[in-house]
């Protein structure tokens, strides 16, 4: 078995959003010249996950975002909570700066982003490849789900994100 | 690496249900004559996912379904909400017919089904194969979780669903 | 394609907890002498799942646990509910002993543990291998998420758990 890797690096400046990456993944499969096999799309961040759903309908994305913010309450100390914040808040224990591996400027209260990432996304998603592209249904797209972007305007720098597209080719497909 | 594909096509006429497909997957593995490797069970629909849990106990399925309907509120305009509907409702923005790829008769309000699919199921599940069948624990079964079936009695036609069983064989297993 | 299997068997005596197993998985990869490929970490239990998140910060784990207990209510008949139990409770239908495969002493009411396992963990997680270890971000660790441990002090025996580490090697990685 061989493997191909395409790495996506990007700035994530909006707090919470969903972004279609289906075409990026299909281009990587094309570049690797792989006709069939498996793709693993994986996040290297703990507050950004991968989902597969109907991403092409903007109102549905608004509904998914609103549910994630309502169902998992925000830390009331979070930089995203201000007088106009309209979703529920609560008290958490976690502070970003308490991670023993943390050597970055990161003073925030993002327990909710971690919990939303666990509840509403995947650290990786596995999708078969067929006829040189992702084998998806008519309404399916693969997307990143960001739960904790930073715009760089407060204390914390802009979020740098990494998503990896791993491609595992197969020789052929036998229909059974 | 080779791949085998067994495609399941079926009508989904009940709104929300969980159905064990363990035996169907094991039969596909047997037909492919694969002794060890990987299975990826994947859904081609955005409101039907795959789960792996204790599917053999009907009361547990009732509890899982009731939780999914309670925790994610239903759109109050949905065709499934009537005077006897007993779970919470709310307002969403999404309408099925707004998807730019939609060329079907599909006038409904199923944001809740999409969100439940994201929160309570997977677009695909990866399971190892050992000794010619799924490597599962005593109480584990693999199942489809339907969040938005249609019985064909209203405006919308019966739901046509596709689930794929992808089998990736390996030569042998080394215990370490 | 070859496969390696490392099986972890352990007693799970605390009701609900999260435990980092990153080093155990990396040791298995080293023992298998695999430089690149895929790992599938899978649970053989229906109330214990796998997650990948920031496991190194103990306060975050407390927040994740508290959310899982708050968001999915506990069965009021459960052995874990006593006068000091502080999370919400409700009525479920499921009883452990009703599973048709059950030939064990297991008299409890753990529907909530099953639902939490579905909502907050995975039956298996797929992670790429690179340079002889798990390809993870700086803050990512892989962990087991136990939803229904038993301490052996009541009617039910101590919980015996099995987690499997499946390793699928690849020959090389091509960066594209």
The rounded average pLDDT for each run of 10 residues, N- to C-terminus, in chain A (176 residues) is 96 96 98 97 98 96 98 94 95 87 80 98 98 97 97 89 97 96
Q: What is the least distance, in Å, from the CA of C56 to any CA of chain B? A: 25
> Stretch B136-146: mean pLDDT, rounded?
97
Q: Give the pLDDT of residue A68.
A: 98
Task: Answer whether B65's CB lies under 8 Å from B17's CB.
Answer: yes
Question: Hey, is the C-beta of C162 within 8 angstroms of any chain B C-beta?
Answer: yes
User: Given a cut of 80, is residue B106 above it in pLDDT?
Assistant: no
Would you give the distance in Å from CA B14 to the centre of its chain? 13
Helices (H), chain B: 22-31, 58-71, 111-120
Question: Hey, is the C-beta of B103 within 8 angstroms of any chain A C-beta?
Answer: no
Question: Hey, is the C-beta of A66 within 8 angstroms of any chain C C-beta?
Answer: no
> Residue B124 pairs with which residues in a beta bridge?
B42
Kindly report the CA angle at A162 between C34 and A63, in degrees rounded to 5?
120
Residue-wise pLDDT for B107-131, tens only, equals 789 999 999 999 999 999 999 999 9
Pairs of CB atoms within 8 A across A/C: 123
Q: Give the pLDDT of residue B99.
A: 80
Closest CA to C113 of A137, B67, A102, A40: B67
Question: Hey, is the C-beta of A2 within 8 angstroms of any chain C C-beta?
Answer: yes
CB-based contact A123 C119, cutoff 8 Å = no
CB-based contact C42 B128, cutoff 8 Å = yes
Task: Answer whether A171's CB lies under 8 Å from B2's CB.
Answer: yes
Per-residue buried b or exposed e for A138-152, using 16+ beta carbons within 10 Å of the residue's own CB = ebbbbbbbbbbbbee
Q: What is the least distance, in Å, from the CA of A71 to any CA of chain C? A: 8
Question: Hey, is the C-beta of A32 within 8 angstroms of any chain C C-beta?
Answer: yes
Query: What residues in C contact A162, CB-CB < 8 Å?
Result: 137
Integer Cα distance of A1 and B37 in angstroms: 13
**Residue B155 pLDDT class (50, 70, 90 cuts):** confident
Name every residue whose Cβ is closer than 8 Å to that of residue C140 and which is 6 or more positions away in sequence: A44, A45, A46, A123, C52, C53, C54
Integer Cα distance of C129 and C140 in angstroms: 14
Q: Give the pLDDT of residue B21.
A: 98
Closest residue of B to C44, CA-based? B137
Residue-wise pLDDT for C70-102, tens only, equals 999 999 999 889 999 999 999 999 987 788 877
Residue-wise pLDDT for B16-40, tens only, equals 999 999 999 999 999 999 999 999 9
For residue B21, report the phi and psi dihedrals to the nearest 5 degrees: -125, 20
Residue-wise pLDDT for C49-73, tens only, equals 999 999 999 999 999 999 999 999 9
Strand pairing category for A3-12 and A159-169: antiparallel
Q: What is the least distance, in Å, from the CA of C33 to any CA of chain A? A: 16
Closest residue of C to A31, CA-based? C176
Torsion of CA A28, A33, A39, A41, to 10 degrees: -10
Question: Hey, is the C-beta of A54 within 8 angstroms of any chain B C-beta?
Answer: yes
> Residue A19 pairs with which residues in a beta bridge?
A144
CB-based contact B31 A176, cutoff 8 Å = yes
Percent of chain C with pLDDT over 70: 100
> Mean pLDDT over all residues of chain B?
95
Q: Give the pLDDT of residue A116.
A: 98
Q: Give the pLDDT of residue B96.
A: 79
Integer Cα distance of C164 and A155 in angstroms: 42
Question: Hey, is the C-beta of A98 within 8 angstroms of any chain C C-beta?
Answer: yes
Name the 3-class secondary structure at B142. strand
Query: What residues in C contact B138, CB-CB < 8 Å?
Result: 44, 101
Integer Cα distance of C23 and C29 in angstroms: 10
Closest CA to A1 of B123, C35, B31, C7: C35
Question: Hey, is the C-beta of A136 within 8 angstroms of any chain B C-beta?
Answer: yes
Place of tokens 């009541």: C154
Closest residue of B to C4, CA-based? B174
């Amino acid at each position: 078995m061989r493997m191909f890797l395409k790495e996506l690096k990007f700035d994530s400046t909006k707090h919470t959003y969903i972004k279609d990456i289906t075409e990026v993944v299909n281009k990587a499969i094309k570049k690797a010249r792989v006709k069939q096999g498996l793709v693993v799309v994986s996040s290297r961040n703990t507050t950004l996950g991968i989902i597969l759903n109907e991403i092409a309908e903007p109102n549905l994305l608004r509904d998914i975002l609103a549910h994630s913010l309502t169902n998992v309450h925000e830390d009331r100390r979070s930089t995203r909570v201000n007088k106009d914040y309209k979703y529920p808040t609560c008290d958490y224990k976690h502070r970003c700066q308490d991670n023993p591996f943390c050597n970055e400027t990161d003073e925030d209260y993002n327990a909710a982003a971690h919990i939303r990432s666990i509840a509403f996304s995947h650290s990786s998603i596995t999708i078969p490849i067929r006829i040189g592209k992702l084998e998806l249904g008519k309404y399916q797209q693969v997307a990143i789900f960001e739960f904790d972007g930073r715009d760089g305007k407060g204390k914390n720098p802009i979020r740098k994100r990494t998503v990896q597209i791993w491609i595992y080719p197969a020789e052929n497909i036998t229909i059974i």
